[in-house]
Amino acid sequence: MKKTYNIPIRYSETDCMGVVYHANYALYFEDARSRFIADLGFPYAELEKQGVMSPVVDLQISYHKPLRYGDTASVTVWVSKLRATRINYAFEVRAGADAQCVHPYTTGSVSVCIVDAHTFRPISIKHRLPALYQAYLSVADANE
């Protein structure tokens, strides 16, 4: 299941060329991923209270067309691969007005490892948080 979230581009997120600075796309991915998890019924802050964290272990970004100040980033996110200790998310970013365009402006992926907040050792959400694992199963890409 894919979900799309709109994020307005602020002037402070652009560089001297008037385009979104490349590192800000990681922030857009993070914002969309956090909202995606919350929409599953598991806000990240609540997971942290339960002693679970999900640090990013891999980030891939490909830039195809620049976003500019005044655009709205339309960020589509989905679970591209699910394992008990690791979750991969895929992203496509388009400008709000071009949200239905064939070619995304930016594409990327993030891989997170599920860890115990106190030890930072990997844990299985399948066993520790079975309801969360089931929620992820219900939205994971069938083509994984």
39 is catalytic: no
Which one is catalytic: 15, 31, 58, 98?
Answer: 15
Specify the 3-state DSSP secondary structure of 74: strand
8 A C-beta contact, residue 78 and residue 139: yes
Helices in 50-129 by DSSP H: which ranges?
A: 125-128
8 A C-beta contact, residue 79 and residue 134: no
The catalytic site residues sit at: 15
